[in-house]
Chain A
Amino acid sequence: QQQVKQSPQSLIVQKGGISIINCAYENTAFDYFPWYQQFPGKGPALLIAIRPDVSEKKEGRFTISFNKSAKQFSLHIMDSQPGDSATYFCAARISGSARQLTFGSGTQLTVLP
């Protein structure tokens, strides 16, 4: 019930294209869904996050789409750039819970110039 499933494992996109990474969860108690970006040799950094009371959140080129009934959420990177090449993790948590984040397995994104 604590698992978050992420796909694809790896993704190659041409510069200017749209990158889409999907996550699905089982635990309906999750109420906070962040995405993290990790560059080689660095720790994960918060990219964007959403709560289930909205279906979409956009920050610049990054958009989270959230489907509560399907228990799925996705990250869309518009106009993908080579500098976006990194590993992306979705995560989920229960607000107010003593438990920390549950992470997806990660997606290695490569944006070709």
Chain B
Amino acid sequence: SAVISQKPSRDICQRGTSLTIQCQVDSQVTMMFWYRQQPGQSLTLIATANQGSEATYESGFVIDKFPISRPNLTFSTLTVSNMSPEDSSIYLCSVEERRLGTGNTEAFFGQGTRLTVV
């Protein structure tokens, strides 16, 4: 399975600043995704990071607030811009791989970035 490294693992940021989260995968993957997990909540898809084109955002998420880069098939960044305390959350990078044997496409997650905005 894909090994996903996310940096930073946690950060405390001032209101109004921006934070860029990095996601590195140990293999080339077509699909990369960014999720938000608010405290005690489920995972909400922010956007699909497309290599070579703009990210595809889910309803309620916009590029100005969450700009995403995907320069190649192993790397992506998510920026949380002009942060407010409401942005305090865990941000997760995810990739999909087709599992040999079953043929199922499985989702794998990084360890997450715990962001606190003060």
Interfacial residues, chain A to chain B (CB-CB below 8 A): 6, 32, 34, 41-46, 49, 51, 89, 95, 98, 100-101, 103-106
Task: Find B112's partner among A42, A95, A98, A103 (CB 8 Å cutoff).
Answer: A42
Name the prevailing secondary structure of the A interface residues. loop
When distances are taken between beta carbons in the complex, the residues of chain B under 8 Å from A34 are 106-107
**Shortest CB distance A98–B (Å):** 8
B window 65-118: CB within 8 A of A: 92, 94, 96, 104-112, 114
Q: Is the interface of B mostly helix, strand, loop or mixed?
A: strand
A101→B109 contact, CB < 8 A: no
Residues of B within 8 A of A43 (CB): 4, 6, 92, 94, 109-112
| B109 engages A44 (CB within 8 Å) | yes
Report whether A46 and B108 are in contact in the complex, using a CB–CB cutoff of 8 Å.
yes
Chain A nearest Cβ from B6, distance in angstroms: 8
Which residue of B has the minimal Cβ distance to A95? Answer: B105
Q: Is the CB of A104 within 8 A of B42?
A: yes
